Structure 1
Amino acid sequence: MSTFQIHTIDSAPDHSRPVLRQLQENFGFIPNIAGAMAESPVLIGAFINLFQRVHAGTFTEAQIQTLLLTNAVTNACAWAVAFHTALALQEGLAAADVDAIRKGCAPADGQHAALSALTKTAIEKRGHLDGHDISAFFEAGFRRDQVFEVLAVAAASTITNYVGSITQPPLEAQFQIHAWQA
């Protein structure tokens, strides 16, 4: 059982409340993991700024969800795997590709496979990518600047995944169908 509170707008520290309101508007609810993050206005503020930047970058939402789901699996964050499974399917990722990522395998789609491989490798190698890792990404049609954009998505994931591992927030009912265990 977690010792961390899942905050609501009313229970959150004052400086966390605007972020929770924004997430409420974006998703129609406050994800439990954000309620946990709200304990720290510094953390949730940094997270929302990075989250906004990532979603305003060059990747499509389907590509971003490929990255976020891969990161959640690689970091073994059950809450984030379930959440990003739902969002990936909503964004049109093939169910077989989502299932492959959840199993730690490459999706069949070539660009999604390259995204998944690069982010997984970056996490596992702690950023020590070699020429082979990066050239495979380029061969799939991506650019140099997008290597760093993958790292920005990984940074956002790291915040979420680590908070999930530390706080163990309950999985919302709508994501139960996508529950996952490492």
Structure 2
Amino acid sequence: MVTTTVHILDTAPRASVPLLEDLIRTYGRLPNLHGVMAESPGLLEAYLHLHRLAIEGTAFTPEERTVVWMTANVANASHYCVPAHTAIAHRETIDARIVQALRDETPLPPRLEALRDFTLALRESHGRPGADAIAAFEAAGYGERAILDTILIYAQKVMSNFTNAVFDTPTDIALAPFAWSPKASVAAQ
């Protein structure tokens, strides 16, 4: 891991300051992930743009979006993003059993399980899911738009999950109630 600064308004590069000010207005605080990303204004801006598009620009329901986010977070062992998206899921009133199943990697209802399986197939195949994975996804009622929307959300998660892994982003105090650790098999990788 690399040591980094968790920027605040006074230490951030000038180009990141307006983005951080917007975040403080939105959340009432500056999340540590964004403070780390602020070192690269382009990364921070791209991440925030993809986050907005994940919410406003996909055809997924909040529950389906949570499945993609959390599947990526858990598979990538993101100590920061699992609690963050658990908090988001609670705020969006996603069924707590769904959130817990995602955190624990236990079965979901069939349609959501198909979405998780497809997200994992994208990850594990480096974007080349096989015909069987695509057929199973389509059999669950998903189509081309859902494939593309999954790619969009996964791209957003690569930015945050990798940032957290490289820089060991400290988990915000506000996220402490949602702390998470990966299974031993994932942590050993």
Counterpart in the other structure of 2:156: 156
The alpha carbon displacement at 1:2 in A equals 5.5
The alpha carbon displacement at 1:62 in A equals 2.5
Q: What secondary structure does 2:161 align onto?
A: helix
Code of the aligned partner of 1:68: W
Counterpart in the other structure of 1:34: 34
The alpha carbon displacement at 1:7 in A equals 0.8
Code of the aligned partner of 2:148: F
Q: What secondary structure does 2:80 align onto?
A: helix
Counterpart in the other structure of 1:70: 71
Structure 2, unmatched stretches of 5+, are 183-189
Q: For the residues of structure 1 that align with 2:141 and 2:88, how far apart are their CA atoms?
A: 24
Kept after mapping to 1: 8 A contact 2:9/2:17:
yes
Counterpart in the other structure of 2:88: 87
The alpha carbon displacement at 1:10 in A equals 2.3
Aligned residue pairs, count = 181
Q: Which moved more, 1:148-157 or 1:137-146?
A: 137-146
Q: For the residues of structure 2 that align with 1:31 and 1:157, how far apart are their CA atoms?
A: 16
Does structure 1 residue 104 correspond to structure 2 residue 105? Answer: yes
Higher relative contact order (CA 8 A, sep 6+): 2
Cα-Cα RMSD = 1.7
Code of the aligned partner of 2:33: I
TM-score (norm 1): 0.91
The alpha carbon displacement at 1:11 in A equals 1.5
> Displaced runs of 4+ in structure 1, greater than 6 A?
none
Q: For the residues of structure 1 that align with 2:33 and 2:2, how far apart are their CA atoms?
A: 12
Gap change, CA 1:48 and 1:116, over 3 Å in 2: same
The alpha carbon displacement at 1:82 in A equals 0.9
The alpha carbon displacement at 1:68 in A equals 0.8
Q: For the residues of structure 2 that align with 1:158 and 1:104, how far apart are their CA atoms?
A: 19
Structure 1, unmatched stretches of 5+, are none
Kept after mapping to 2: 8 A contact 1:106/1:116:
no
Q: For the residues of structure 1 that align with 2:122 and 2:38, how far apart are their CA atoms?
A: 28
Gap change, CA 1:28 and 1:140, over 3 Å in 2: farther
